Amino acid sequence: MDALHGLPTHEKLKQAFRLEAGTVQRYLYFARIADIEGFPDVAQTFRNLAESGICNAQGNLDFLKRVGDPDTDLPIGETDLNLTAAISATILEQTESYPLMAKVAKEEGLLDIANWFETMTRTKKVHEQKLKKALAQLAAVRQEEPK
């Protein structure tokens, strides 16, 4: 186990990863609006910064890779590990995260948002299947490799 594991800095890296990943998405969203409003220069600034954001987010993953997937804490690094972690994450999302979100939204009477979360649950099921298929194909390729 890497020394980083479980330290407060480990938590901070996860937090930094989420911050940067979130920044990328927000900037891309803002860029589109700037484009529509007719401010291509602003849009370009947002896009350029989003590009840096991708680099920054992945910089956190460079460290996190030593201790595990920020979402599932499962080991990541090589493709079969990454697929396995991604599959667990989709399962977690469809069985816990999104159903809980949908429940909260429903309780608050925000039924359109609840339906949006439910839609996500279904999407994640499909993603789980696709990732599992990729993992099976990877295993099959490995089988064929000369010993």
Partner 1 sequence: MSTASTPPAAREETEETPSPARPRTDRYDASSITVLSGLEAVRQNPGMYIGSTDLAGLHHLVYELVDNAIDESQAGYCQRISVTLWADGSCAVEDDGRGIPVDLHPLEGRPACEVVLTKLHAGGKFKRQSYQYTAGLHGVGLSCLNALSEWLVLEVWRDGFHYRQPYAAGQVAGELAKIGPSDRRGTRITFRPDPRIFGAGLALSAPTLVSRLRELSFLNPGLHIRLLDQGSGEEREFQYDSGIAGFLRHLNQDAKVLHPQPLALRLAQPGVDIEVVMQWTAGYGENILSYVNSINTVHGGTHLSGLKNALTRTVNRYASEIGILKAENGEHISTFDILEGLTAVLSVRMETPSFEGQTKTRVTNPELKTMIDEGVSGALLAALRADSRLAAQVVARALDASRARLAARRASERIRIQSVDTRVSKEVYQRQFGIRSQNWHQSAVWIANHALLAEHVQHLPSGHYPRMLDVCCGSGVVGASFKGRVGTTFGLDLTPEMIALARTRLDHLSQGTVYQLPFRDNTFDLVVNREVLHLLPNPERPVDEIFRVLKPGGLFIVGQILPFGPEDAAWMYRVFKKKQPLIFNMFQEDDFRELLLGAGLVDLTMSEYRLWESIDVWIDTHETTNLHRHEIRELFYQAPQEVREVHPFEILPTGEIRDLWRWCVFSARKP
Point out which residues bind partner 1 (CB under 8 A). 32-33, 36-40, 75, 78, 80-81, 108-112, 115-116, 119-120, 122-123, 125-126, 139, 142, 145-146
Give the shortest CB-121-to-partner 1 separation in angstroms: 9
Residue 57 and residue 65 in contact, taking contact as beta carbons nearer than 8 Å = no
CB atoms within 10 A of CB 103: 12
Residue 90 and residue 124 in contact, taking contact as beta carbons nearer than 8 Å = yes
Give the shortest CB-102-to-partner 1 separation in angstroms: 12
52 vs 79, beta carbon nearer partner 1: 79
12 vs 32, beta carbon nearer partner 1: 32
59 vs 75, beta carbon nearer partner 1: 75
Residue 17 and residue 57 in contact, taking contact as beta carbons nearer than 8 Å = yes
Up-side HSE of residue 53: CA atoms within 13 Å toward CB? 17
39 vs 59, beta carbon nearer partner 1: 39
Angle formed by the axes of helices 111-144 and 98-107, nearest 10°: 180
Give the shortest CB-137-to-partner 1 separation in angstroms: 13
